[in-house]
Amino acid sequence: MPSFARAHTNLALVKYWGKEDEALRLPSAPSLSVTLDAFYTDTRLSKADTNEFVLDGKKVAGPEADRVFSYLSRLFSLFSLPKEGLLVESRNFVPKSAGFASSASAFCALAAAFAEEFGLDLTRKELSIAARLGSGSASRSVYGGFAEWKEGGTGESFAFPLDENPSMGISVLFLSFGGGEKEISSTEGMRRSKFSPFFPVWRQECRKACGEAESAIKAGDFEKLGEVAEKNACQMHALALSCGFSYLSGLSLEALRLAQNLRKGSVPCYWSCDAGKNAALLCQKGDAGRVKQAVREAMGAGARLFEAGPGKGVEAWREV
Ligand code: 2P0
C-alpha cells in the first residue's frame, strides 16, 4: 500500500553552514529556522520491482535520482530492513525555477514516507535524524513553526521544536532575482568555508545567535529575532567572502539596504539570504503590504515576490 508525506521547506534564521562530518551531516554549529507554509513537497512511496523516481510527473535519471536512491538505501541499512525496489513520486510546490532550494522539504517528506511505508513508528526525534542524513536542513522541517538543530559530536544529531504555533505574526517575503544555477553548491561552499580563518568565530557566533533567537522567540520579540537573523546571514556571507567567493549579487545587497531603510522609516524589516543571490525579507504580518510596496518601488520587475508564513511540521499517511 503506498504511503504519502507532505513536508514544508524552512528558512534558516541562524544558518547551518559547515559540517564536522560530511557523510553523517553533522553540523559544526547549531542552526534555527522557521518552517514555511507556502512551499512544500508531496511524496508518494510504493514498493516496486525496480527503483524509479518521478518528479513533477516526469521520470528522472542521473545524479538527482542517484541521490534519492542512495539515501533510501541508507535508510534500509539504518533500520536493518532488507532492500526493496521503490517507486518515488514527488511533487515540489517550491518555485525551483525562481531559485529556491527544495532539499529540506524533499528529504523530510521522503524520510517520513519511508517510515510510514515500512511501519517504523518513529518518534519525531528519530525522524529528524533520518531526514538529516538526506539533507541537513531537512532535520528541521520535521517540525512546524520555529525549530532548532543543535550541533552534535555523534550520529545522534537532531532538530527539536521551539514553538510550533508561533503567536508572533511573522511574514517572510522572498525576492527572486532570476538567472541561472549557482556556481558553488552548498556542499562545496561549506567545504571551502571551513578553511576561513574566521570559521571558529562563525561557530561561536552561531551558538550565541541561537541562544538570543531562542530568548526572542520565547519573549515574542520580533525585532530582536530579526536583528539576530540579519546579522547571522551577513556573517555567513562574510565567511564565504573571506574564502574568495560570494553568492550575493548587487540585487541581494540592494535588498539588504532596503530592509535597513525600512527600519529607518520605523518598519521593522530584516534581511536574510541563503546560498544563492535571492533574498528574504522578514517582517511582521501587518507590515507585509508596506514591505511589498517598497520592494516594487525599489526593484520593479527585477524582483519576483513570494510570500510565506510559519508552516506545519511534516505529515505522513497510508493509502487505505
Ligand atoms: C540552512 N543552507 O541552514 C543553510 C543556510 C544554505 C544556507 O542548509 O549538504 O542542502 O544537503 O546537508 O541542507 C543548504 O544546505 O545541505 C542549507 P546538505 P543543505 O538552511
Residue 186 Cα to ligand 1 middle (Å): 6
Residue 263 Cα to ligand 1 middle (Å): 28
Work out the average pLDDT over 27-33: 97
Residue 265 Cα to ligand 1 middle (Å): 33
- Express each pLDDT in 40-66 by its tens digit: 999 999 999 999 999 999 999 999 999
CB of 136 sitting under 6 A from ligand 1: yes
In the CATH hierarchy, which top-level class contains the domain 3-165? alpha beta
CA distances from 199 to 15, 240, 277 (A): 13, 10, 22
pLDDT score at 267: 97
- Express each pLDDT in 166-200 by its tens digit: 999 999 999 999 876 778 999 999 999 999 999 99
Q: How many of the other CB atoms lie within 10 Å of CB of 243?
A: 18
Alpha-carbon distance of 157 to 151, in angstroms, equals 7
In three-state secondary structure terms, 138 is helix
Q: Residue 185: phi, psi to the nearest 5?
A: -65, 165
CB of 105 sitting under 6 A from ligand 1: no
Three cell numbers, residue 70: 542512495
- Express each pLDDT in 272-309 by its tens digit: 999 999 999 999 999 999 999 999 999 998 999 999 99
Of the listed ranges 80-89, 91-100, 185-194, the least confidently predicted one is: 91-100
pLDDT score at 95: 80
- Express each pLDDT in 228-266 by its tens digit: 999 999 999 999 999 999 999 999 999 999 999 999 999
pLDDT score at 30: 98
Q: Using an 8 Å Cβ cutoff, are 228 and 198 in contact?
A: no
The overall average pLDDT reported for the chain is 95
Could you give the residue range(s) of every CATH 3.30.70.890 domain in the chain? 170-308
- The angle at the Cα of 182, spanning 176 to 186, to the nearest 5 degrees, equals 105
Residue 147 Cα to ligand 1 middle (Å): 15
Could you give the residue range(s) of every CATH 3.30.230.10 domain in the chain? 3-165
Residue 210 in this model has a pLDDT that exceeds 80: yes
Domain 170-308 CATH assignment equals 3.10.520.10: no
